Amino acid sequence: MSGTLEKIARGLDAIVEACGWVAAWTGFALVLVMAGNVLMRYVFSTGSVAMQELEWHLMAPLTLLCIAYTIKHEGHVRVDIFYARLPRRVRQSIDLFSALCVVALSVIVIVLSWRYVMQSYRIAEGSPDPGGLPYRFIIKAMIPAGFALLLLQSLAASLRALIPFLGGEAEPPAQVPANARQ
């Protein structure tokens, strides 16, 4: 049973890993767009509303789609002062409870944001600024997409946290090198 749960968790991890890797490339695109905007503004004394809006259109997938990727790689901020001193079974219970809470939160955000995205799609919402970008629903769709990835990562964490309660042996989390911690 625990082998099946771990296999499912690894499949979910692979989806999050691939999406996070793709979304991370939007950071490179964002740097290029920002550099181009600065170059156009200060060297050629011109600019584009669409290019300025593209900056935050690239920031949305970068932040929202990389949340799950960051958590998967334990790059998030965590307070371990008390957690590390607790008995192993209590820590396992906390891990399961917190993963299930994130699953619930992700589902709530997806459900609540879906109507927001669909309303934007139905009215063909675009930028209110002249020369701005059309299809505002695409950037708004990053909200449920990002939380869907977080849901997948939280399901993987929930499955892994459940293994010790079913009699299996939990794999220790990947260790972050001490010099990488801030």
- pLDDT, tens digit, for every residue of 7-27? 888 888 888 888 888 888 888
pTM: 0.80
- 153-182 b/e with 16+ CB inside 10 Å = b? bbbbbbbbbbbbeeebebeeeeeeeeeeee
- Mention every residue, 6+ apart, whose C-beta is less than 8 A from residue 95: 157, 161
- Mention every residue, 6+ apart, whose C-beta is less than 8 A from residue 162: 5, 96
> Looking at the domain assignment, is residue 145 inside a domain?
yes
Q: Which of 45-54, 70-79, 102-111 has the lowest mean pLDDT?
A: 70-79
What is the mean predicted confidence (pLDDT) over 123-127? Answer: 91
Band the pLDDT of 181: cuts 50, 70, 90: very low
> Looking at the domain assignment, is residue 180 inside a domain?
no
C-beta of residue 18 within 8 angstroms of C-beta of residue 43: no
Band the pLDDT of 145: cuts 50, 70, 90: very high
Cα 162 from chain centre: 22
> Looking at the domain assignment, is residue 119 inside a domain?
yes
> Looking at the domain assignment, is residue 179 inside a domain?
no
pLDDT at 155 over 90: yes
C-beta of residue 10 within 8 angstroms of C-beta of residue 157: no
Cα distance between residue 32 and residue 142, in whole Å:
21
C-beta of residue 142 within 8 angstroms of C-beta of residue 172: no
CA angle 67, 10, 92 (to 5 degrees): 75
Sign of CA dihedral 70, 72, 74, 77: positive
Band the pLDDT of 104: cuts 50, 70, 90: very high
DSSP assignment, residue 164?
A: G
Domain total in the chain:
1
pLDDT at 110 over 90: yes
C-alpha atoms less than 13 angstroms from C-alpha of 139 in its C-beta half-sphere:
18
> Looking at the domain assignment, is residue 176 inside a domain?
no
Cα distance between residue 12 and residue 24, in whole Å:
18
| pLDDT score for 182 | 41
Averaged pLDDT of the chain: 86
| 69 token code pair | 């990727």
The residue range of the domain holding 69 is 2-169
- pLDDT tens-digit profile of 58-84? 988 888 888 888 888 877 666 778 888
> Looking at the domain assignment, is residue 175 inside a domain?
no
> Looking at the domain assignment, is residue 108 inside a domain?
yes
